[in-house]
Amino acid sequence: MYLLRDARKGDLKGLGALAAALDSVNLPDDERALAEILERSCRSFQGRIRDPLRRAYVFVLEEARTGRLAGTSMLIAQHGTHDSPCAFFQVSTREHYSSTLDRHFKHQVLSIGYHFDGPSEIGGLVVSPSDRGGPEQPGKQLSFARFLYLAMFPERFRDVVLAELMPPLAGGKSPFWESCGKRFTGLEYPEADKLSRENKEFIQQLFPPGEIYATLLPPRVRRALGAVGPATEPVKRMLEAIGFRYASRVDPFDGGPHYEAPTNAIAPVRAFRRARVSAAPLSPAAAERPKLVGLARPTGRARFRAVRAPARFEGEEVLLTPEARERLEVLPGDRVGVVPLDL
């Protein structure tokens, strides 16, 4: 059994190994940046950041027997503020017709836009290659842990949730950036990506304020606009299954699609239930479908813990197996949150 929990400062080395597999804005392959992300997450779980919308939470999936980190994910309370706006290209269509030539064209058009009062965001999902797949569904556990926490504390988050998905890349480079962003900034993709983590001013100043016709881009770049890479395809299908939809927006750096959903329309959030742990244990052989069961504590070393385990509701109580109770460190009467995983 894996244990899902809040990330701690001592997880820096394990997170570094996971970040090397992704190296994204949310989970950069940079020790100093990762240390800052961990510090912010610890302060967020502890409530030491006064404004809830400035908080960002890092979850880790720990192999229970060894303590090895098998994966991580993030939940950002608000992506897009006055100080650090969320930049994107709005994707639309323009039609042109010439009666003289009797020719009609439909052009895909990109318009730069910004969120200064943006949505909550899920991101930074990475599973160690040795743990991917299998009946334990580690990726789904890490993904749903964010929705479980969001459902526990809806007042801390926005009423829309954003997911920025990874597009196909070529040798670590973004074909879209090479054809578009680089021409306006003179920066290489890794350099621009790293700079955007700290300051997005150059996007507002150097990107054109009007429209860019995607017709001018190479055909292979146009075809990949708003698409996802093979490794991200399962994530896209999972998000679509629980209520997320393409928002007709793409990332201005790599052309990856933005998916969104109203918070209260996300399937695991809708299905969330609270219950008290029953004094009666659930038999390990009980034919119950596994659910994600978790709790959050205001004090102590572990501020959030969750496990994938069979669970049965009986009135206002939930029956858990002895192993699940031990991993969660709960006693009869403790309140837990539960979301189904078979959505």
Instruction: Using pLDDT thresholds of 50, 70 and 90, give the confidence band for residue 300.
Output: confident
CATH topology of domain 273-340: Barwin-like endoglucanases (2.40.40)
Angstrom distance (rounded) from CA 109 to CA 91: 6
- How many other CB atoms are there within 10 angstroms of residue 2's CB atom? 22
Write down the pLDDT at residue 241: 97
User: What is the pTM for the complete model shown?
Assistant: 0.93
- The residues with which 108 forms a beta bridge, in sequence order, are 93
Q: Kindly list the domain boundaries of the chain, sorted by start residue.
A: 80-117+165-255, 273-340
Q: What is the DSSP string of 118-133?
A: --EEEEEEEE-GGGSS
Nearest to 150 by CA among 10, 51, 254, 294: 294
Describe the crossing of helices 138-152 and 233-241 by its angle, rounded to 10 degrees. Answer: 40
Instruction: Using pLDDT thresholds of 50, 70 and 90, give the confidence band for residue 138.
Output: very high
* Lowest mean per-residue pLDDT among 109-123, 285-299, 319-333: 285-299
Model confidence pLDDT, tens digit, residues 267-291: 999 999 999 999 999 987 777 899 9
254 contacts: CB under 8 Å, gap ≥ 6: 166, 167, 169, 174, 176, 177, 189
- Our CA angle for 299, 301, 306, nearest 5°, is 90
Angstrom distance (rounded) from CA 286 to CA 320: 10
Contact 249, 114 (CB under 8 A): no
Tell me what the mean pLDDT of segment 178-203 comes to. 88
